[in-house]
Structures are given as structure tokens and as C-alpha cells.
Chain A
Amino acid sequence: MTAVQVPAPGRVRAVIPPAERAGVALRAFRMSRAWLLLGLAVLVWEAAVRVLDTPKYILPAPSAMVEAFGENRSLFLEGMGATTLMSVYGFAIAVVVGVAIAVLMARSALFEELVYPFLNIVRVMPTIAIAPLLIIWFGRGAVPIVICSFLIAVFPIIVDVAHGLTSVDEDLVNVTKLANASELAILARIRIPNALPYLFSSFRVAAPGAVIGTLLGEYIGSREGLGYLITVYSAQLNTAAVFVLALLSCLVGVVFFNLCVWAERFAVPWKTVVR
């Protein structure tokens, strides 16, 4: 066998590309460009409304919205607080009940066989159809609102967590069985940790869903909250105020969503470790 001659080391050296150097201004621009675009859109909107002289009740200018918010600030913020609180209740109950149902479904084939069809019926039933019933049963108040919020948030949690509990590698379970592990230990040490990332990914759907459910409940029968205020101001054709309320609803949803994403990083650290 003959070996190919390899060039002696040190003859050629690799050129290391210089580090990228962006100025402070450029970096600031890159970080904020999404917001700049948003600001630009608002300016265009304002200008278009003024130039075209659109009726205020069809499309209010951004400045009119700021004004509407200023006039009703405490009322709107109070409504936002009520909506947030109802959403937190609905979401929290959805997490507890959803995880419990998912665990029962994953642990018992009989439970899944008997209960799953009913769950599916409730799931496909539009919440907006159930909401008036809830108000008949529970009256106007927090209970029907929290139930609406719960109903929208709970199903993604059940489906994802049940999937997470059952999608464990059987051989990992076998490893624990070789140590004579109990079913409870397998649930606590293997199935539940395995389902944790699934739980958090379900939150991405369930958390904004809880806010939507709350708004729906308030919309149909309530004396407070953003959903209720929307019905009041749209009846008065105060479009600017309706826009503000819609934006505040968005804000609640966005905050909820981002809190969940943020919590995921702490609860599921092994998903985010880098090589």
C-alpha cells in the first residue's frame, strides 16, 4: 500500500473571517424594525382617514382611539382587569381538569372508550351555542363566563397531554419495569415528565383560547369586562372605543400567550439546551 503524500502542516493557514461589526444605529434598527413598520402603518392610517374624511363611526383615526381611551381610561382598565381575572380562572380550571382527564384517559382504556365520544361532542359544539344556556342555568355573573373560558381552553390541553402521556418509548418504560417500578412510579417519573412539553405546547392554543372564551361569555351576558363594554359601545356606534377595546383584548391574549412561552423555558429546560 502506498500512502498519498500529505502537505506538511504550516504551509497553508486558514483565513478566519472577521467578526461582523454592526454599528449601534444598525443594531437598534434591526431590533425595532417590526415596531417601526407598525408605527408607519398607524401614520398611514391616520393620514388616509384625514385625507379621505371617512365617517368616524366607520373607520376612526388612531388619534380618535387615543382620545376615546383617554376619556374612559379607568372604565376600560377596570374591564381589562375583569377580563384578565376571568381568563385566569378559566385557564387554571382548564389546566387542572384537562390534565386530570388526560391522565385518566391514558391510564384507563375503558375510561377513554366511554368518555372520549362525549368529550368530542362537547368539543365540536360551538361555545357560542352553549353560552346562552349557561346564563339560563347560572345567571349573569362570573360562573358562566369562567365556564366559557374553561370550555375553549380545556380541549387542547386534554388532547395534547393525553398524547404526551402515551407517546413514551415503550423500552424506556421497560427499563423501569426491570427495576420493578409500580404503575404510579412509571406515571410520575416517565409519563408525566414526557407529557410536560406537550402541556406547554397546548398552552399556546389554550391560553389565548381562555381569553376568547371569557370575551364570549362577557359578550353574551355580563355587566363587566371588555366583552360587555364592546356590546355597549358598538350599540352607541362609538367605533373608536370599540377599536380600543378590541386592542385591549388583544393585549390580554398576547400577554397570556407570552407568559406561557416564557414559563415553558423554565419548566422544560431540556428542550432548550444547546449542543
Chain B
Amino acid sequence: MSSQPLSTTSTLPSASSSTLAPDPVVEADRVRLRDVCIVHGRGDTAVVAVEGVDLEVRPREIVSIVGHSGCGKSTLLRAIAGLQPHASVQGRLEILGMTPDDARRSGRLGMVFQDAVLAPWRTVEANVRLPLDVARGRGRRKPARTPAEQLELVGLKGYGKRYPKQLSGGQRQRVALARALAMEPQLLLMDEPFGALDEITRDEMHTELLRIWGTTDASIVLITHSIQEAVFLSDRIVVMAAHPGRVAEVVTVDFPRPRRIDLKDTPEFAQIAHRIRTSLEENR
């Protein structure tokens, strides 16, 4: 095997931002999308949600997708997870080197939504264990971390016996993150994960997410409405335009890691945020 990156056909800027120790063997991209189109419905009422999207996500990379409401961000994310059974998904989608459906069945994808969507009848620890309880076939594996350890990682040690309704919104979202990590995913998909939280909690969750991500092998694709969030967390930011949803611009963010919260107060940070804002404005 040569040390050439496998994504030689990529039209996106190459990864110049990775500051982590390079892997001895260059791994394949976790996500590789080429000419992806997604159509809802059929015939006269069909709606083209996404058209002609190319995207690569490399190992241990964090890629944010920003864009105005209705630009197909969520649709695209769900298509990556093979969770668009009723839409027509066209083009080439390679997720962890497999089709989205096979990737989903491999149990190597984790997902966090805007709401924590915990099972109210399960205790916090049982919620984290849920994917392990229902896993079957290729999805079945014994992860290195137990659910209790996963909870400790997200800062909820001692909360395992409680029920979700006894937790705050931020704590519930931590449980959702622990559950998404329960199967040790190689790709973590996050759909506005902090959108329902207040600003103070959200800031806290940003540094927490980076800390937790640092202990995993996961790449993250994150959808967000917050420019600050995108700039602080990401290696690259994909700005999408709407009607139909397409990639308008990809911005590389090369702040070194680990990143601290006061990065948000630097002029360089403001500069990139400004650029994203301008791009969003131009692609209304």
C-alpha cells in the first residue's frame, strides 16, 4: 500500500489542518459522497432536496454543515446514515467504505439529534446500553468501554440509576452522546445537537465534545445553525445553499487542537466566522 491518500479525486481542499499524530497507515475516507442527489416524493409533487453534493470526511476529522433552513442538511445527514427509506437517494455514497445501509447495519455509526430522544422508561445507564441491547449480526460487538464508563466519560458519573426526566436538558444531551458512542462509532453524525440548549450550556458542551471526541476514533459530521459552534469545533465547514441543497463553499479552519474556549474571542476566530456569515448571506 502506498502512502498516497485514497481521495485523490477530491475536489475539496486537502487536509492541511490535521495536527494529530498521523496514522502510520493512511486510512480511507470515512465518508465519500459524489454527485449525490436526494429527491422526496415522485411525479408532479417531487421535491429535489439535495443536488450534486460532493463531500469527503477523513478519519478523525470534524466537518460542520451550515446553511439556511430547508437547504437539505438534515436530509443529507440521514442519507449518510441510511435513514432515508422513503426518499430517492442517487449518486455514489460510500460510508466507511460501504453503502449507507451496510454502514448502518455495521453498528459503526452513532447519531445525536437536536432532542436527546431518550427512552423515558429506561434509566440513564440503560439508555446508554440500548444500542448494545438491540444490536444484532454485524452490529454486535463488545465495546472497550462499558455503559457506566461511557457515562463517566461524558461527565455523568453517578447518574446511571436516574431516569431521563430527572436530568436537565444539557445532561440529557450528554446521555444521548454517551449512547451514540456506546458502539464505538467511526463516524458520529450530529444533527443540531446543541440547538435546544441555552448559550451557557452550549459553550460548555463545545469544549466537552472536543474532550470526549479526543478519546475516540470517530470522525464527526455536525449540522449546526450556530456559526460560532461550526468555527470552534470544525476542521472544515461546508456552507450549503438551498433550492436545491448544494455545496456553496468549503472553508478550512486550521486552528490547532486542543482548542480552548477563549479561542472564540480571538480576531482570527471572528475573521472565519465573518467569512462563513458572508457566504451564508450570498447563498440565501
Contact = CB atoms under 8 A, between A and B. Distances in A.
Q: Do A and B come from one complex?
A: yes
Interface of A: 169, 171-172, 174-182, 185-186, 189-190, 193-194, 196, 268, 270-271, 273-275
Contacts of A189: 130, 133-134
Interface in B84-135: 104-107, 109-111, 113, 115, 117-122, 130-135
Interface in B219-239: none
> For this complex, into which size category does the number of interface residues on chain B fall?
20 to 34
A176 B130 contact: yes
B98 to A, nearest CB: 12
Q: Which of the listed residues A169, A189, A270 has the most CB atoms from chain B within 10 Å of its own CB?
A: A270
Nearest to B135: A179
Contact of B131 (A176, A196, A270): A176
Nearest to A274: B166
A249 B263 CA distance: 73
B165 interface: yes
Interface stretch (B8-16, B38-46, B136-144): B136-144
Contacts of A194: 119, 121
Given A174-B83, A275-B166, A180 B121 contact: no
Interface in B227-271: none
Given A171-B115, A175-B130, A177-B104, A182 B83 contact: no
Contact of A193 (B121, B163, B166): B121
Contact of B136 (A172, A185, A275): A185
Contact of A180 (B119, B133, B135): B135
Given A169-B117, A175-B179, A180 B138 contact: yes
Interface of B: 81, 83, 104-107, 109-111, 113, 115, 117-122, 130-140, 163, 165-166, 179-180, 183
Contacts of A273: 163, 165-166
A240 B131 CA distance: 63
B168 to A, nearest CB: 10
B131 A182 contact: no
A108 B32 CA distance: 36
24 contacts: A169-B117, A174-B83, A174-B111, A175-B111, A175-B117, A177-B104, A178-B83, A178-B107, A178-B110, A178-B183, A179-B130, A179-B134, A180-B104, A180-B106, A180-B138, A180-B139, A181-B136, A182-B136, A193-B119, A193-B121, A194-B119, A270-B121, A270-B165, A275-B166
Given A185-B136, A273-B166, A179 B183 contact: yes
A172 B134 contact: no
A68 B139 CA distance: 70
B117 A180 contact: no
B279 to A, nearest CB: 29
A62 B189 CA distance: 71
A182 B107 CA distance: 13
